[in-house]
Amino acid sequence: MTEAVETRTTTYREAMREAIREALQRDERVFLMGEDVGRYGGTFGVSRGLLEEFGEERIRDTPLSEGGFVGAGIGAAIGGMRPIVEVMTVNFSLLALDQIMNNAATLLHMSGGQINVPLVIRMTTGGGRQLAAQHSHSLEGWYAHIPGIRVLAPATLEDARGMLGPALEDPDPVIIFEHGSLYNMESELDGDAPPVDLTSAGVRREGDDITLVTYGGTLPTTLAAADELAGSGIAAEVIDLRSLRPLDTETILASVRKTRRAVVIDEGWRTGSISAEISARIVEGAFFELDAPIARVCSAEVPMPYAKHMEDAALPQVADVVAAAREVVGSRP
């Protein structure tokens, strides 16, 4: 007789907090550092209560200097610690891009395999919260361009809870992108949620008519679009990338070979985007299986507006995904 697994309703924010708490309890080398992670409880409330539980040595508030504290995290990782560095939003991470790209991502190669950098960087990404142009962009594709780092985008509570542990065990740098619109998302989660695989994409919904490829904050939008398409007789398969570097190309291609049509949904800008890379890989690996051109649904190529109606117009919406999918399916023989 199997034991019943306890489930509870929780949020994405709380799942991520629990993952950090478990990591701190499991390994004394783990510590969290970043702007406002301690007394304030994190800009988005993820680290609330951890300072009181673990103390200032392991929950470290830093100055407003992304290049400084990311560099300190790299040094701590080289020195044998397992730092979790929180960067408030992806836009501000550009101030630490030199440390991430020229140090964290390259030291293993430049040292001839002698220096690993077991660093985890967490940062919030994405729009939809009226935080305007300096706090709302999706730059994950920029980081997925860099060899030497792993790039993750948990879109479910299970992944928010389960990705951090394996990421901390990776001997090389890992960046975890948390979409700001997901923090309040509620769902049931097993009390003993296990670690998850960091290398494979997830099939979140099965279908035979078209493949919808997405990740992170646009997964709920894509699933809602799949529901609407189902109402008109179109069965969409939804692929959640989960990992942006490396990409699980085989799962994408297997789905496209089945459905013979694809739409890629990406909150990044269209030009030079992760959606462009996925489209190229589909063409390279499944061109002769396609019955229609690949479509893309991306953000408008503008700085993110503040006004709600303009922000909504700039971001991928359910109606945009539905329209793109119907156009692609409409071209079937």
**Which residues belong to the active site?**
66, 135
Token code pair at residue 219: 């997964």
Other Cβ atoms within 10 Å of 113 Cβ, number: 8
Query: What is the token pair recorded at 268?
Result: 């990044």
Residue 95's closest CA among 67, 123, 134? 67
b (16+ CB within 10 A) / e for 122-146? bbbbbbbbebeeebbbbbbbbbbeb
Through-space distance between the first and last CA atoms of the chain, rounded to whole angstroms: 52
Least Cα distance to 128 among 214, 217, 215 occurs for 217
Copy the structure tokens of residue 25: 């309890």
Q: Which of 193, 191, 188, 119 is nearest to 161 (CA)?
A: 193
Crossing angle for the helix pair 318-330 and 219-231, nearest 10 degrees? 50
Cα(201)–Cα(146) distance, integer angstroms: 19
What are the b/e assignments for 90-105, b being 16+ CB within 10 Å? bbbbeebbebbbebbb
Distance between CA 31 and CA 114 in Å, rounded?
24
User: Are 137 and 103 spatial neighbours (Cβ–Cβ below 8 Å)?
Assistant: no
**Beta strands 243-245 and 174-179: pairing type?**
unpaired
Encoded tokens for 301 = 């190529």
Taking alpha carbons only, the member of 16, 54, 38, 285 closest to residue 162 is 16
